[in-house]
Amino acid sequence: MILPNQPNFKSHFAELLHHAASKVASSDLTTRIELARTKQAKHGDYSCNLAMQLAKPLHKNPREIATLLIDALPPSPYLEKAEVAGAGFINLFLQISAKQQFPYYVLKHGSNFGHQNIGAGKKIQVEFVSANPTGPLHVGHGRGAAFGASLANILAAAGFTVTREYYVNDAGRQMDILALSTWLRYLQLNGFTIPFPKNAYQGEYVRDMAQLIEKAHGKRYVHQPDLLLQNLSSTPLEIEVDEEEQLNKWIVSAKKILGEDYAYIHNFALTEQLGDCRNDLMEFGVEFDTWLSEQSLFDNGMVAHAVELLEKKNYLYQQDGATWFRSTHFGDEKDRVVQRENGQFTYFASDIAYHLNKFERGFDQMIDVWGADHHGYVSRIKGAIQALALDPAKLEISLVQFAVLYREGKKAPMSTRSGEFVTLRDLRREVGKDAARFFYVMRKSDQHLDFDLDLAKSQSNDNPVYYIQYAYARVCSVMAQWDEDAAILHSTDTTMLTSPMELALLQKLIDFPDMVESAARESAPHLIAFYLRELASEFHSYYNATRFLVTEIPLRHARLALVASVQQVLRNGLALLDVSAPEKM
């Protein structure tokens, strides 16, 4: 039996059950039919709880309904048998011949095996990382980067047209703090004794930027440092309670003293940090189709336009000189300011404008990847979208929990403002890109992640990325020992694959397209990581118990076709996570 071009046994069995339910149920069936993989081969390949779902509307015992459903199943070349189990589950057994022929399909489609078309070309935007360009990316940013990039790969494999976007927060106070920090270090380099605010950016990278300016322009930007100190002398830095307000005064004074030259310091710091961020992400295997500037939304009037639209729809009001959005109408705990009493728009206003911009670009779906500390922001941004008469269901927000780095059992600090942080670049240099990418996505994104450096660097079966890559290298070793044309395996007879280990491996290959679909629908790259670990485990067991290069050529080719299929699926799965597949370890 040769399989059709794109067999999907899970969907096929769901169709069989739907047909059976239409015979058993007296009314139109609205119950969603879901099949799950069974954990033990003796319980079949797929299990369904449809009978239990129909028990209440049909007023019958689930086991009785399950028997009726099985009796009503239409003929199928792929279904060996169906059994009632437990309280009324239906266990479905796939024909062994269908499993045995599956290497043909894997090898035929090669790097495209596992790809789906559930997206049908729909335009989907994934916006992720979007860290303030005020310092090097740290290990906390790395998890969002790995998650977003892997999710984008999975969505593309599932048939979506994906746009990867980085929203550059280049407007507002944080960039002013970075510009001030850089200028103060520049003045210090030029021999002036200037106190440095402890809540400015402390990292060595600020000194590096100051040195670049000094090297290129000498003392050009040494403007009235005595006047700066004079302006600040009225508010001592020692007053802890006023330190943020004091920093604002530093910024105001710097802008006044530098005049037009302030724009150079600001833009230089932005360009340097954004360039460093871009290079760091590229080395991490993360690239973006679009880098959209927050400042551009102010420059082109998009922020003012968004606020005006909300005003016209009566979702704004004035209080204490500020303009407020009625976000409590949409489930938020309190209303939010969109324009301050001094006329400046807030971050929230620019975020509203940014999401309006996304809708105007015509995306069918949008995914924002945020840190878990932004969970309170969800209701207000979705409320603003609804207030603009747009569909908030088109926006999905994936929250990513913090990753905490441990070295020798000690927690590492990661604060960019204090200058004490472990950068993503440092992490990658220590454990390697592959381990970093895999470890970041091997848990569900909304679960806390302790990143164990010692485990990530170890060459042991406890290290999941090493374990998977070692399985791939073992396959490569087998194929190299065989040293013949692999093309002959594409059409070899695989009916000799009958052992329990072989059938388990075949079923695992069959599961891969379903896993890609599930990962895409659930925005869950960790499902691919789990799958790869399980496939590697099945293969290692098979490798340790089986001779591949046997003298009987038909059996040799059948086993090598299976091994080559495992190799292909491991490579395809690792590619979705942007982890390499080394031929030697």
Contact by Cβ (8 Å): 509, 566: yes
Q: Taking residues 471-476, report their average pLDDT.
A: 98
Cα(172)–Cα(344) distance, integer angstroms: 10
- What does the pLDDT read at residue 160? 97
pLDDT single digits (tens) 62-83: 999 999 999 999 999 999 999 9
In sequence order, what DSSP letters do the residues of 338-359 get, joined into one string?
EE-TTSPBPHHHHHHHHHHHHH
Comparing 414-418, 499-503, 579-583, the range with the smallest average pLDDT is: 414-418
Type of residue at 565: S
pLDDT single digits (tens) 260-279: 999 999 999 999 999 999 99
Average pLDDT of the chain is 92
Contact by Cβ (8 Å): 124, 363: yes
- What does the pLDDT read at residue 4? 46
Please name which of 424, 546, 528 lies closest in space to residue 154, comparing C-alpha atoms.
Answer: 528
Share of the chain above pLDDT 70, in %: 94
Residues 6+ apart with CB under 8 A from 391: 385
pLDDT single digits (tens) 241-256: 468 888 988 999 999 9
| E-assigned strand segments in 227-385 | 290-293, 316-319, 322-325, 336-339, 365-371
Beta bridge partners, 345, equal: 339
Share of the chain above pLDDT 90, in %: 83
Structural domains present in the chain: 9-94 (3.30.1360.70), 100-114+461-576 (1.10.730.10), 173-274 (no CATH)
Question: Residue 420 above 60 pLDDT?
Answer: no
pLDDT single digits (tens) 305-321: 999 999 999 999 999 99
- What does the pLDDT read at residue 241? 47
Question: Residue 5 above 80 pLDDT?
Answer: no
**Model confidence band, residue 409 (pLDDT cutoffs 50, 70, 90):** confident
Q: Taking residues 558-585, report their average pLDDT.
A: 97
pLDDT single digits (tens) 105-154: 999 999 999 998 999 999 999 999 999 999 999 888 999 999 999 999 99
- What does the pLDDT read at residue 57? 87
Q: Which residues of 464-487 are buried (b: 16+ CB within 10 A; e: fewer)?
A: bbbbbbbbbbbbbebbeebeeeee
pLDDT single digits (tens) 186-204: 999 999 988 898 889 988 9
**Model confidence band, residue 239 (pLDDT cutoffs 50, 70, 90):** very low
Comparing 25-39, 41-55, 382-396, the range with the smallest average pLDDT is: 25-39
pLDDT single digits (tens) 447-459: 999 999 999 999 9
| Tokens 């990418």 belong to residue | 437
Name the DSSP class of 82: E
